[in-house]
C-alpha cells in the first residue's frame, strides 16, 4: 500500500480500535509502514486474527484483546499514544443485526472509553462514522451539511444510531474538553479481507460468482451505492488524522453504480456463468447513496483514485487465493 506518510509521519504510537477488522487491519498496516508503533485493540466479535497475522511479531506492533465497552489502557511506556482511530463496531448487516445491543454499546460506551484514552494522553482522535448517518437520503449527493432521513427504531437503526451518537459524543468532547478530535463519514468500502458471508454486496456477489451460484440482487437492483476501494479509504482516513479538522468529512467514491450493474460487473470479471436472482429488499435499505467530497478535496487534498473495475479485480484475486467462508 502506498502510504501517505507526509500526513501522519508525526505520529509515534497509534491505537486502532477494531484493528483486526476489515478496514482496521488495513489501517494498522499503513500506520506501521509509516513508522508509527501500532496497538491493535479488538475483542474479535467480528474481527479476525488472520487479518493481522502478517503484522504479528513485527517490531512496533502490539495486539491487545479487549472490549472497548469497558475502560481500557494500552502500553504507554515508550512512547505514549498520540493517535487514536476509533473503528470498533460491527459494520455489516449480518453482524449488527445479530448483535444489536453490543453494536449500540460499542458506539456509546466504547466511543466514550476510546475518547477517554485519547484525552488522557493528549492524542488526536478520529471517530469512524458512516454514510448510514444519512439514512435513506432525500438529498443527493449527500454533503456533510445534510442532517439525514433516518428511521431511529428500524432494524438498521442499531448501527445508524450508534454511529450518530458516536458523532455527537465526539463533538461534545471537543466542545467540553477542547480535545483534538475528528469525524469521518465512510461510504461503502470494499477490498481484500472482507468476509464472504458478511452480508455486504461486494463480498456476497464475489463469493456467489466464484462458486457458480446465482447472485442475489435485492429489490429491482436499481438502488445505487458508491464504492471506494479500501486503499483509497485508508488514505482518506489518514489524511483526516493528519489534519486538525473536526468534521464530519465524507470519505467515499462519488462514482455511483446500481446493484444490478455491480452484480453484472462481478460476473464479467470472474468469468462466471452465474445468473441473477432478485430477492426482497431489506427494511429501510437506502435507494441512493453518493458522497459529496468537496470538503475532503478542498481541506484534505484527498480523492479516490482506484476505479471500480480495478478495485474489483484486486478483490476477486484475493478471494480466489483465500477461499474464505466467514
For residue 107, being part of any structural domain is answered with yes
Task: Point out the catalytic residue in the list 159, 190, 197, 229.
Answer: 159
Distance (Å, rounded) from C-alpha 17 to C-alpha 28? 10
What is the structure's pLDDT at 80?
95
For residue 160, being part of any structural domain is answered with yes
What is the structure's pLDDT at 88?
98
Q: For residue 182, what is the domain's CATH number?
A: 3.40.50.720
For residue 151, being part of any structural domain is answered with yes
What is the structure's pLDDT at 324?
54
Residue numbers of the domain that contains 165: 10-189+227-253
pTM of the model: 0.94
Distance (Å, rounded) from C-alpha 111 to C-alpha 44? 17
For residue 182, being part of any structural domain is answered with yes
For residue 140, being part of any structural domain is answered with yes
What is the structure's pLDDT at 282?
83
Q: How many CB atoms lie within 10 A of CB 246?
A: 15
Tally the domains of the chain.
Answer: 1
For residue 122, being part of any structural domain is answered with yes
For residue 268, being part of any structural domain is answered with no
Average pLDDT over the chain, rounded to whole? 94
Distance (Å, rounded) from C-alpha 4 to C-alpha 234? 9
Per-residue pLDDT of 148-160, as tens digits, reads 999 999 988 999 9
Intervals of the chain under pLDDT 50: none
State yes or no: is 134 an active-site residue: no
193-198's contacts with Cβ under 8 Å and 24+ in sequence apart are: 193/22, 193/25, 193/26, 193/51, 193/230, 193/318, 194/22, 194/315, 195/22, 195/48, 195/92, 195/324, 195/326, 196/319, 196/324, 196/325, 196/326, 197/94, 197/325, 197/326, 198/92, 198/94, 198/95, 198/326
Local structure of 186: helix, strand or coil:
strand
Amino acid at each position: 500500500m502506498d502510504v501517505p506518510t507526509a500526513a501522519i509521519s508525526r505520529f509515534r504510537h497509534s491505537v486502532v480500535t477494531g484493528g483486526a477488522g476489515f478496514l482496521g487491519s488495513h489501517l494498522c498496516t499503513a500506520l506501521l509502514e509509516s513508522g508509527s508503533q501500532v496497538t491493535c485493540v479488538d475483542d474479535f466479535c467480528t474481527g479476525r486474527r488472520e487479518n493481522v497475522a502478517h503484522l504479528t511479531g513485527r517490531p512496533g506492533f502490539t495486539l491487545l484483546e479487549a472490549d472497548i465497552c469497558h475502560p481500557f489502557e494500552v502500553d504507554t511506556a515508550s512512547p505514549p499514544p498520540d493517535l487514536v482511530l476509533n473503528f470498533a463496531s460491527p459494520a455489516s448487516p449480518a453482524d449488527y443485526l445479530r448483535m444489536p445491543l453490543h453494536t449500540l454499546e460499542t458506539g456509546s460506551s466504547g466511543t466514550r472509553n476510546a475518547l477517554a484514552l485519547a484525552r488522557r494522553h493528549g492524542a488526536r482522535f478520529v471517530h469512524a462514522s458512516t454514510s448510514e448517518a444519512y439514512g435513506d437520503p432525500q438529498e443527493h449527493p449527500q454533503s456533510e451539511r445534510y442532517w439525514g432521513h433516518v428511521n431511529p427504531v428500524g432494524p438498521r437503526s442499531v448501527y445508524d444510531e450508534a454511529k450518530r451518537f458516536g458523532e455527537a459524543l465526539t463533538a461534545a468532547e471537543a466542545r467540553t474538553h477542547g480535545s483534538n478530535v475528528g469525524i469521518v463519514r465512510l461510504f461503502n468500502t470494499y477490498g481484500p479481507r472482507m468476509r464472504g458471508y458478511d452480508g455486504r454486496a461486494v463480498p456476497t456477489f464475489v463469493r456467489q460468482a466464484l462458486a457458480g451460484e446465482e447472485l442475489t440482487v435485492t429489490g429491482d437492483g436499481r438502488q445505487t451505492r458508491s464504492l471506494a476501494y479500501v486503499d483509497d479509504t485508508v488514505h482518506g482516513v489518514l489524511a483526516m488524522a493528519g489534519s486538525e479538522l473536526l468534521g464530519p468529512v465524507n470519505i467515499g467514491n462519488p462514482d455511483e453504480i446500481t446493484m444490478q450493474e455491480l452484480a453484472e460487473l462481478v460476473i464479467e470479471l470472474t468469468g462466471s456463468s452465474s445468473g441473477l436472482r432478485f430477492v426482497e429488499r431489506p427494511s429501510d435499505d437506502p435507494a441512493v447513496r453518493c458522497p459529496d467530497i468537496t470538503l475532503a478535496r478542498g481541506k484534505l487534498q484527498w480523492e479516490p483514485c482506484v476505479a471500480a473495475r480495478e478495485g474489483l479485480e484486486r478483490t476477486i484475486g484475493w478471494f480466489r487465493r483465500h477461499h474464505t467462508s466467514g
